Amino acid sequence: MISRISGVLRDVADDAAIVENGGVAYEVMLPSALAERLKSNGALGDSITLETIYYIEAGDKKASHFPRLVGFTDPVDREFFSLMTQVPGLGVKKALRSLVLPIREIAEAIETRDPSTLSRLPGVGSRLAEKIIAELNGKTTKFALSRTEEPLAVARKQRQTPLFEDTLEVLLQLQYNRQEAEQMINKAIKANPKVNSPEKLIEIIFRAQQEKAES
């Protein structure tokens, strides 16, 4: 179990950071608002400590499993996030995207049984909001006392499908800028509307880039 990582911050993408420790570079998934703060603070090259959650991500194939780290600068944020991901149907990636309200407000909604507030979170409809309340009511009281006003995630202007978002995440990690990556994905999906996995979509984009280079 990896619960904390310290090292030099080498890179920050929209939802992940590269932390180098002892010559080894670790990719750590981040809530988008934290990633934005690290980028705007000019923290590249500085020492950083992240409180982490280690989990195994299942791939499309049953035999494909990948170890991943999720990081936070505050152990309270990590604890709250860990609680949220215990709710069936609220996985790590969805939880990372959903926390666009301060944890205090989310905890208050859970403790006061307010599903309408929880339904405002991206990816959380009324049914999942009720499930969150049923699972976590009585467990988040201390978080409702938090004085932190900044949310862990930023709301995206346009909500996309998981296929789009997962493919976008891969391209951003490969150092494509967001606008270029979104254009490539939209073009590939338009030409191949039946594609249903990020791996297949990446393959289609790769072939399109090859054809473009050869023309």
Q: What pLDDT digit, counting tens, does each position of 36-72 carry?
A: 888 888 778 899 999 999 988 776 555 567 788 999 9
How is the chain split into domains, by residue range? 1-73, 75-157, 162-214
Q: How many CB atoms lie within 10 A of CB 150?
A: 11
- The 10 Å Cβ neighbour count of residue 154 is 17
Beta-bridge partner residues of 52: 71
Q: Over the stretch 175-209, which tens digit does the pLDDT of each residue have? A: 788 778 888 999 999 899 889 888 999 999 999 98
- Kindly give the pairing relationship between strand 4-12 and strand 24-29: unpaired
Q: Which residues contact 212 (CB under 8 A, 6 or more apart)?
A: none
**Which CATH architecture group holds 1-73?**
Beta Barrel (2.40)
Q: Please state which CATH class domain 75-157 belongs to.
A: mainly alpha
- Tell me, yes or no, if the pTM score tops 0.85: no
What sign results for the dihedral spanned by CA atoms 127, 128, 134, 138? negative
Which residues have CB under 8 Å from 80's CB, separation 6+?
103, 106, 107, 140, 143
